[in-house]
Chain A
């Protein structure tokens, strides 16, 4: 069965600190997709990144970077030099490409990040 675990419920950092949000997933499919979404206090989920199971290259986008490791079934997210505007709940999600429910997102419980000035 597919599952996403975000073990960190809440993280609090001071501005300019680096922070890593952990995500561990479970799936029996060989083809799958991993996502990160940001949910600010306004409530709308904002798409950050999609990564497929065949691409293990790390990705960097500005202050954001993602580390995908199939060997440990992890897809961790690092924010460098955090800012107050990064305060939000971050969700990791899994989507399996095989089977009838293609594209459905299985979300973790989220990690609430608070960045203090």
Chain B
């Protein structure tokens, strides 16, 4: 079974530029998550999708971050414009969990390391 795929693996941009990350979850997984992991810290949830709907985006900085999962499969996370503090690893995870069911384990992709200069 293929794991969670993410691209690109690395990205370097200048502040105020825009960037987009792509994630393809494990086949059949209804729930998709984007996390931000700053160096030396644990991952922090940015947004959770169930199928193509947003379940939780309370920690997403909506003035600059956006995410979509149009067909309920793969997803894109965008930052526009980027700031220096956005330098982090962006992790995508998927889970077979459905709303109302107990929490299942999440399976993570390799992440995209973003450096904003």
Interface of A toward B, CB cutoff 8 Å: 4, 31, 33, 35, 37, 42-47, 50, 52, 91, 93, 95-97, 100-105, 107-110
Contacts and interface: CB of A to CB of B under 8 A. Distances in A.
Interface of B: 31, 33, 40-45, 48, 55-56, 58, 89, 91, 93, 95, 97, 99-111, 113
A66 B31 CA distance: 27
Contacts of A108: 42
Contacts of A47: 105-108
Nearest to A45: B108
Contact of B42 (A31, A96, A110): A110
A110 to B, nearest CB: 5
B68 to A, nearest CB: 19
30 contacts: A31-B102, A33-B102, A33-B103, A42-B110, A44-B108, A44-B109, A44-B110, A45-B43, A45-B91, A45-B93, A47-B105, A47-B106, A47-B108, A50-B103, A50-B104, A52-B102, A91-B43, A96-B103, A100-B55, A101-B58, A102-B100, A103-B103, A104-B48, A104-B56, A105-B43, A107-B43, A109-B40, A109-B41, A110-B41, A110-B42
